[in-house]
Chain A
Amino acid sequence: MNKQRLFLFIPLLVFVVLAIFFWRGLSLDPNAMPSALLNKPVPVFELPVLPAPENPSGLVTANQELLKGRVSLLNVWATWCATCRQEHEFLNTLKAQGIPIYGINYKDNNDDAQNWLAELHNPYVFSVIDADGRLGLNLGVFGAPETYIIDKQGVIRYKHIGDVNAAVWENTIKPIFNSLQ
């Protein structure tokens, strides 16, 4: 076989390499928790707290240290997110049960966010304002809503993508949540 013909195999080789990646890709869930952050502490942050008329926290800024001490939920939300609105009522129910929920107001408008909490009630201990999405990026947020389970040492134990409803809570989150107590 002459040398030039070997060059004609290049497209085939490129395709074979791509096909291997596709094969790997099939067994990976694009929504799965990146293993890098599971069982790692919440990334370091220092962000302003969203003023909330109902159940105000009294904080101006907050950091990851405040999440320590008790098992809690960390919920990523935004007013532009339609599913967050569906989820919100169930978060209020959880708050009534005494579950501590921290909020990350993700890439949102402050006024909208405050109106939202005033109108739909505030289930959060506090919500930090992640206007440029930097904390979201560090957490590996795909989109709102997402909910993380944080243990007493401030370590991420679970990540849920999509809304938290009664079924998700009972079947998935609550068992993990209780096991960490």
Chain B
Amino acid sequence: MPLDFVQLAPELGQFALILSLCLSTALFFLPLIGAHYGSHLLMRSGPSLATGFFFFVAFAFFCLTYSFIHDDFSVRYVATNSNSLLPIQYKISAVWGGHEGSLLLWILMLAGWTLAVAVFSRSLPLDMQARVLSVMGFVAIGFLSFILFTSNPFDRILPMPPQDGSDLNPLLQDIGLIIHPPVLYMGYVGFSVCFAFAIAALLTGRLDSAWARWSRPWATMAWGFLSVGIALGSWWAYYELGWGGWWFWDPVENASFLPWLIGTALIHSLAVTEKRSLFKSWTILLAIFTFSLSLLGTFLVRSGVLTSVHAFANDPERGVFILGFLLLVVGGSLTLYALRAPVVKGSTGFGLFARETLLLGNNILLTIIMIMVLIGTLYPLIADALNLGKISVGPPYFNVFFLPLMGLLCLLMAFGPLANWKRTSGKQFLSLLWKPWVISLIFALLFPLFYRDTYEPLAALTVFVASWVFTALIADTLYRIRNGSTLVNGLKKLSLSYYAMVIAHAGIAVTVTGVGLTSIYTEERDIRMEVGQHVQVVEYEFVLNKLVKVEGPNYIADEAQISVFKDGQFLREMKPQKRRYLASGSTMTEVALDVGFFRDLYIAMGEPLTETAWAMRVHLKPFVRWIWLGALMMALGAVLAVADKRYRKAVKQDIQVDLPTGKLLNE
């Protein structure tokens, strides 16, 4: 009987993974040796090896996907994460629904970024490119060994494969989970490029403006992906976990938030290093930290040292492996840093109100916030290790420091774009910023008055912070185009990277508004709803018309049909469901949402009380969309910044200027 591809796919995939491990090992050694001995041949092997590495990982990924699509339940990973009744789009997303497959996705992203470096960094000095690719190869070796030795997705259950799979976790059968992990991993893994650049800089000692300019687009891109990834995770939790929260300070959420905080510091610090050749050691340290925190997140999620709603099936062996790898990468790079980073000379090159000072403030605040989040996340672990007992750290701890520090950061943010490098006079700030200050203050004081009957001082504060950031941006833009003949001409002259900054900062203002106003104005009712009964939530009225049974492809559901009226006018019908999945027997709440720019209506079914009555959770969530809209704006900012022409132009000049001279660190 001839073997067809379905039967062979797992073995081929496994073989492709082994080959890619071989290629990444070569990618680590050959270009590095070449760079050391000045061998052009070895240095030039980097891009080809990177291409091969990507090709074989992509092929392995394709093989696993193929096994999922064709329901090959003799593969253990497919049997535990899929089911023949599962709709096709979820069979594909189930590829990254568990530990092994999501690790493969991680590696695919890494291979993709490595390939991107090989393709887009042709204009870099050859030895720099060789070293960067070599570091990427090293990271790849770690993760490929991890997947092959501890978490192989291609393991078979033979000779007695199960008839059917045990189904994908119903929580994960959702559009949010199709796109959330790939985008998040793009962000996580993208910081490996900045890390590789930082290590290459430490190795060569070439740590100058050109280095910062090469790193910037990569850092910005990874940051943009991570912003969207985190927002998607929050959005998914909001409507799929079924309790209407959008952020829980859960260890796994924190694990993605930590690199975002330091990544934000990094993209700002890189700006200073590029423009003013300052903060060099600091920038390198941030680049190392950002990727280290990404690795730490991976360790925390997959090793079982912390309990979390997101935690993967845990295995101490895996924990030991990642910890070992973490020690090697982070410990090694920090040792290299300690030995090779330039020592700061005690000269101050900028004044009190300079843009450098403000960006330094940004960095310090973000680092403090990161450390506080890190402490909150790791405290249970540390307390346990010191025998202080089992402790969990809840949202009150995080909110107490996070909100004031974030508020302070936003207040400072308004000054940043207006400030000049080296020094800015206090008068300049005053003349440009008094109007935004007054306008924001008036708007903020009036807003709670008109929005709801009871006056919420915290809402005024939120609105003030957000509109302060926003109006200061407008003031800055107007100031910059003051010499343009017309408004349009002026706006045309501004660079793409300036627009990028404006949009990203405005995105922060939008997110702040969303977070603040949602937290303050959310109305929640946990109620018993009888058929025919009316429930009033502020200006909305909900009527339960009937309860029906609905059959889906792999579940049956109780569905409530609820009419919504606003001020007596019929608005729409909403249909929340309580689903029971047949294969696993687990139940899931499908929330009904009415999405709006200024408010979401949210209904989730609780428990059945009688034949005609259910416990229901009805929420009115004002401005909740703004949280994620802001994140999208930040990502758009990242895209625009990377698209700015000056990177491509500037790189060409640098090759001529910097290649021969290449300053040494300790000069």
A interface residue numbers (CB < 8 A to B): 2, 4-5, 8-9, 11-12, 15-16, 18-19, 21-31, 34-36, 79, 82, 112, 115, 140, 142
The 7 closest A-B CB pairs, nearest first, are A25-B305, A24-B385, A12-B334, A9-B338, A8-B338, A4-B343, A26-B319
On chain B, the residues within 8 Å of A25 by CB distance are: 303, 305-306, 381, 384-385
**B38 located at the interface, meaning its Cβ lies under 8 Å from any Cβ of chain A in the complex:** no
- Write 7 A-B pairs (CB below 8 A) sorted by A numbering: A24-B385, A26-B303, A26-B304, A28-B305, A30-B381, A36-B389, A112-B615
Query: B337 and A11: CB pair below 8 A?
Result: yes
Q: Contacting A19 at CB < 8 Å: which of B327, B337, B380, B389?
A: B327
Minimum distance in angstroms from A56 CB to a CB of chain B: 22
Q: Contacting A142 at CB < 8 Å: which of B285, B307, B319, B327?
A: B307
Query: B609 and A12: CB pair below 8 A?
Result: no
Q: Contacting B337 at CB < 8 Å: which of A8, A27, A28, A36?
A: A8
Query: B390 and A34: CB pair below 8 A?
Result: yes
On chain A, the residues within 8 Å of B285 by CB distance are: 11
Nearest A residue (CB) for B285: A11
Minimum distance in angstroms from A136 CB to a CB of chain B: 12
Query: B341 and A8: CB pair below 8 A?
Result: yes
CA of A35 to CA of B385, assembled, Å: 12
**B320 located at the interface, meaning its Cβ lies under 8 Å from any Cβ of chain A in the complex:** yes
Query: A82 and B587: CB pair below 8 A?
Result: yes
CA of A29 to CA of B381, assembled, Å: 10
On chain A, the residues within 8 Å of B299 by CB distance are: 22
Query: B335 and A12: CB pair below 8 A?
Result: yes
CA of A2 to CA of B587, assembled, Å: 64
On chain B, the residues within 8 Å of A30 by CB distance are: 304-307, 380-381, 384, 390
CA of A152 to CA of B382, assembled, Å: 35
On chain A, the residues within 8 Å of B330 by CB distance are: 15
Query: A19 and B326: CB pair below 8 A?
Result: yes
CA of A115 to CA of B610, assembled, Å: 10
Annotate B290-327 by CB proximity to A: 1 below 8 A, 0 otherwise. Answer: 00100000010001111100000000100110010011
CA of A21 to CA of B305, assembled, Å: 10
**B523 located at the interface, meaning its Cβ lies under 8 Å from any Cβ of chain A in the complex:** no
Nearest A residue (CB) for B371: A14
Most buried by B among A23, A28, A30, A112: A30
Nearest A residue (CB) for B392: A142
Minimum distance in angstroms from B423 CB to a CB of chain A: 26
Query: B334 and A11: CB pair below 8 A?
Result: yes
On chain B, the residues within 8 Å of A34 by CB distance are: 389-390
Minimum distance in angstroms from B599 CB to a CB of chain A: 26
On chain B, the residues within 8 Å of A19 by CB distance are: 323, 326-327, 331
On chain B, the residues within 8 Å of A15 by CB distance are: 292, 330-331, 334
Q: Which of B333-348 contact A (CB under 8 A)?
A: 334-335, 337-339, 341, 343-344
**B378 located at the interface, meaning its Cβ lies under 8 Å from any Cβ of chain A in the complex:** yes
Nearest B residue (CB) for A33: B390
Q: Contacting A79 at CB < 8 Å: which of B389, B587, B607?
A: B607
Minimum distance in angstroms from A61 CB to a CB of chain B: 27
**B511 located at the interface, meaning its Cβ lies under 8 Å from any Cβ of chain A in the complex:** no
Contacts A22-B305, A25-B303 given; 20 further ones with Cβ under 8 A? A4-B343, A5-B343, A8-B339, A11-B334, A12-B334, A15-B292, A18-B378, A21-B378, A21-B385, A22-B299, A26-B323, A28-B305, A30-B306, A30-B381, A30-B390, A35-B387, A79-B607, A112-B615, A142-B307, A142-B392
**B518 located at the interface, meaning its Cβ lies under 8 Å from any Cβ of chain A in the complex:** no
Please count the residue pairs between chain A and chain B whose beta carbons lie under 8 angstroms apart in the complex. Answer: 87
CA of A35 to CA of B267, assembled, Å: 46
**B281 located at the interface, meaning its Cβ lies under 8 Å from any Cβ of chain A in the complex:** yes
Query: B338 and A28: CB pair below 8 A?
Result: no
Q: Contacting A12 at CB < 8 Å: which of B281, B305, B331, B343?
A: B331
Query: B305 and A5: CB pair below 8 A?
Result: no
Query: A22 and B381: CB pair below 8 A?
Result: yes
Minimum distance in angstroms from B620 CB to a CB of chain A: 21
Query: A12 and B337: CB pair below 8 A?
Result: yes
CA of A34 to CA of B316, assembled, Å: 19
Most buried by B among A11, A18, A29, A115: A11
CA of A24 to CA of B384, assembled, Å: 9
Query: A12 and B338: CB pair below 8 A?
Result: yes
Query: B323 and A5: CB pair below 8 A?
Result: no
Minimum distance in angstroms from A149 CB to a CB of chain B: 19
CA of A9 to CA of B191, assembled, Å: 23
CA of A9 to CA of B338, assembled, Å: 5
On chain A, the residues within 8 Å of B378 by CB distance are: 18, 21
Minimum distance in angstroms from B299 CB to a CB of chain A: 7
Q: Which of B356-390 contact A (CB under 8 A)?
A: 378, 380-382, 384-385, 387, 389-390
CA of A15 to CA of B338, assembled, Å: 13
Most buried by A among B289, B323, B331, B390: B390
On chain B, the residues within 8 Å of A8 by CB distance are: 281, 337-339, 341, 343
Query: A5 and B390: CB pair below 8 A?
Result: no
Nearest B residue (CB) for A18: B378
Minimum distance in angstroms from A28 CB to a CB of chain B: 5
CA of A41 to CA of B568, assembled, Å: 59
Q: Contacting A26 at CB < 8 Å: which of B305, B331, B337, B380?
A: B305
On chain B, the residues within 8 Å of A2 by CB distance are: 343
Nearest A residue (CB) for B288: A11
Query: B344 and A4: CB pair below 8 A?
Result: yes
Minimum distance in angstroms from A23 CB to a CB of chain B: 7
On chain A, the residues within 8 Å of B334 by CB distance are: 11-12, 15
Query: A28 and B384: CB pair below 8 A?
Result: yes
On chain A, the residues within 8 Å of B607 by CB distance are: 79, 112
Minimum distance in angstroms from B372 CB to a CB of chain A: 15
Most buried by B among A12, A24, A82, A140: A12
Minimum distance in angstroms from B667 CB to a CB of chain A: 14
Minimum distance in angstroms from A4 CB to a CB of chain B: 4
Annotate B211-235 by CB proximity to A: 1 below 8 A, 0 otherwise. Answer: 0000000000000000000000000
CA of A66 to CA of B378, assembled, Å: 39
Q: Which of B583-612 contact A (CB under 8 A)?
A: 587, 607, 609
Query: A5 and B320: CB pair below 8 A?
Result: no
Most buried by A among B288, B319, B384, B387: B384
